[in-house]
Structure 1
Amino acid sequence: MQSFNHLITTRPHEVRQVLISDLHLSPEEPALVQAFLALFDDCLALPALKRLFILGDWFEVWLGDDVYLSLSEDERQTHWLTPLIVKLKRLRVAGCEILIMHGNRDFLLGQPFCNLFGGELIYEPYTLTISQQSYRLEHGDALCIDDKKYQFFRKIMRNRLTQWYLLNKSLEKRLAIADKMRKKSQQNNANKAAYIMDVNEDAVTKAVADSDALLHGHTHRPDIHQATSNKKRYVLGDWRLLDGDTRQPKVSAVIGAVIADEDSDDNNVEFDMYEFKVNI
Structure 2
Amino acid sequence: MTDMTAGTRNLERFASRICEASEADLRAAIYADGPAPLRDTTLGLAADGPYRAFYAPFDWINTQADVVIVGLTPGRQQALDAVLVLRQALLQGQTLEQAAALAKYSASFKGGMRKLGAQLMDHFHIHQLLGLVTTAELFGSAQGRVHATSALRYPVLRHHGNYSGHAGMLDVPFMREMVETCLAPELAVLKNAWVIPFGTYAHRAVQHLANRGLVDEGRILGGILHPGGQQWNRYKVQLGMTTGAAIANVKGGLEVERRSRELHLKVQALLQQTPVAVRRPGAAA
> Structure 2-normalised TM-score?
0.28
Larger helix fraction of residues = 2
> Structure 1-normalised TM-score?
0.29
